[in-house]
Structure 1
Amino acid sequence: MINEGVTAALAARDATRNGDDSHTSGTGVRRPVQVARECTYPDFLKCQPLNFKGTEGVVGLTQWFEKMESVYSISNCTVACQVKFAMCTLQGNALTWWNSHVKTTTPEAAHAMPWRTLKKMMTNKYCPRGEIKKLEFEMWNLKVKGNDVVAYSQRFQELALMCDRMFPEEIDQVEKYVGGLPDTIHGSVMATKPKTMQDAIEFATELMDKKINTWAERQADNKRKSDDTTRNNQNQQPNKRQNTGRAYAAGNGDRRPYGGPKPLCSKCNYHHEGPCAPKCHKCNRFGHVSRDCRSPPNVNTGANQRACFECGAGAQGQFQSDGPKIEEQQQPG
């Protein structure tokens, strides 16, 4: 009996030592254990759960599910209160649907429903199979529109939540995501071999931002060069117009019509009275004779003179062979 008593005492001592040391002090006195406070509805609302109206579609319902589960974790909501608190966020058509369901049973039985069962009921109600197929078709054909990689990434993630059976592993999602990127960055993203969706999205977004910034800088540089060229042309145009105007003025001044009283001579085509002025046969100008001409001799002029004396008519048809030579005529008074 003594041995049995000693053995029992030793076993009790070992049990005390092997217990939760976090609740014992250094003196061996057991500290009181703090019991976690049960989550109340105000605590639940402080975590800002989303409302659901039933018109948000498949993506909206999925986001409501994710946000609700996050609130459960933060607020330490008990399993017994999950459905009861979640149903307080329903509005519009969704609230009408839930009230109809409660009438078929009792409020106690409806609130005792497991969260997983509620998710399945709401998925069957607001995510019919036909809608899921439409989302899967959109997922297969989803590509970047223009250069908006941010919108593409957001829509891809939304669709991936409801089309999870299309991608058994995350690497499958990554391959589909990279396949929808534009050719300008597709090869660069593929070369990095991203392992997760987060890596692929971050690298694609950063790379596209660099491409857009480079393109914007190039456009600004081209516009600046174009503006400089236009400005230089505008500065040069007034000078050209001024010179042209002077040239026209000079030309018009040389060709002003004769307004004097002297008649036009049909022989020399000049306005004068009396016989025509002598003409030089070296330079073919009126007003002086050949012996007084200071211009160099012209070969063509000499040939014309010979032709004139042989045929009896001048090259210009201004004198005859039997008449007096023009160079011997005197300048009219």
Structure 2
Amino acid sequence: MPVTRQGTNDAMTPESIQAMIDRAIQRNSTHTQDDGSQSSGGGIRRPVQPTRVCSYPDFMKCQPLNFKGTEGVVGLSQWLKKMESVFHISDCAIENQVKFATCTLLGVALTWWNGHVRTLGNDAAYAMSWGTFKKKLTDKYYPNGEIKKLEIELWNLKVRGNDVAAYTQRFQELALMCTKFLADETAKIDKYIGGLPDNIHGNVMSARPMTLNFAIELANDLIDQKLRTYAERQAENKRKLDNNNHDQQQLLKKQYVVQDYVVGSGEKKPYGGSKPLCRKCNYHHERECAPKCTNCKKFGHLAKDCWHPINANNQRTITCYECGNQGHYRSDCPV
């Protein structure tokens, strides 16, 4: 039966039907691929941008580390980790990884790489994979003897004093290299807790941390709390000591005041000079005794020169039989 259009009497041949199908397919393909404005579901599709190849300036913008060959095993491990991170961030192509990475070599490390380039040639050297280059570099600056030394250091590593931060940093550095010594996370946690000081070791152990990061955070929190408590105790002891010293000083001042009052009220202070004691006047001096007034009983003047009123009992003139002067008796004669 011939195929007819609805509402018309014109017949459609198989050739015309196939032509319509081809035009529809071509129209749909052109609209999807060239314009990129509609998707198969009728939505809006953005044009697809081609992936840009990572260039050397793009690689250097990620600030890769330099390696001189004198940083030791720790420095080499940090350089390798940083370089692999830069590869991932910059989307560096596999064929450019060794080429870009070797541009960060300096000093003896650059001399070592230039020797490989001369031996293998530029094309073969820079066609090397990152894994092969990493193995050659670790064989050169990562000898087995050095790893053994680091394992011994890690085995004996402990916290010095209360410096948990320095212990943690060194432990993490050594754990990156001693992968055979610390095979899994549990071994790392046990070794880390084993090096902690006694004042926090039991608390961290009883918490049963499941990850190394949790054990590190717990140890730092505990040691900070211990140090704060110790500082508070020191401040409290200092305050009490200052108060005790103040109280003692006040007590000594009171004692000095009492002693001064007792000495001033009746006691005679001992003589501290070097002059001899006179038997007549009972004072310390070197020359002859000063005259003593019979009126006021004071030394330094006679009764005739006394400015005090003359007593009635002393109105009679007194004469010394020793010197002949008036105003004193022979027993009081200064000669």
Question: Where do 1:106-255 residues align within 5 Å?
Answer: 106-249=121-264, 250-252=266-268
Q: TM-score w.r.t. structure 2 length?
A: 0.68
Matched, 1:41 2:56: yes
Q: CA contact under 8 A between 1:44 and 1:71: conserved in structure 2?
A: yes
In 1: Cα distance, 2:104 partner to 2:199 partner: 45
In 1: Cα distance, 2:269 partner to 2:84 partner: 97
Number of residues paired by the alignment? 249
Report the CA distance between 1:237 and its aligned residue. 1.8
Give 3-state SS (helix, strand or coil) of 2:226's partner: helix
Runs of 5+ unmatched residues, structure 1 = 262-333
| Paired position in structure 1 for 2:75 | 60
In 2: Cα distance, 1:239 partner to 1:91 partner: 77
Q: Which has the higher helix share?
A: 1
C-alpha RMSD of the superposition? 3.1
Give 3-state SS (helix, strand or coil) of 2:268's partner: helix
In 2: Cα distance, 1:132 partner to 1:23 partner: 60
Q: Go from structure 1 to structure 2 and tell me whether the alpha carbon gap of 1:84 and 1:237 turns closer, same or farther (over 3 Å shift).
A: same
Report the CA distance between 1:258 and its aligned residue. 9.2
Q: TM-score w.r.t. structure 1 length?
A: 0.68
Amino acid in structure 1 at the alignment position of 2:226: K
Runs of 5+ unmatched residues, structure 2 = 1-13, 30-35, 271-277, 283-335
Report the CA distance between 1:260 and its aligned residue. 7.3
Q: CA contact under 8 A between 2:67 and 2:79: conserved in structure 1?
A: yes
Residues 264-303 of structure 1 deviation map (CA, whole Å, 9 limit, x = unaligned): xxxxxxxxxxxxxxxxxxxxxxxxxxxxxxxxxxxxxxxx
Structure with bigger RCO (C-alpha 8 Å, 6+ apart): 1
Residues 26-54 of structure 1 deviation map (CA, whole Å, 9 limit, x = unaligned): 44898643221110111111111111111
Of the candidates 90, 107, 115, which is equivalent to residue 75 of structure 1?
Answer: 90
In 2: Cα distance, 1:217 partner to 1:139 partner: 34
| Paired position in structure 1 for 2:292 | none
In 2: Cα distance, 1:38 partner to 1:225 partner: 72
Residues 233-279 of structure 1 deviation map (CA, whole Å, 9 limit, x = unaligned): 2233222112223334423289xx99679xxxxxxxxxxxxxxxxxx
Amino acid in structure 2 at the alignment position of 1:170: E
Q: Report the more deviating stretch, 115-124 or 61-70.
A: 115-124
Amino acid in structure 1 at the alignment position of 2:267: G
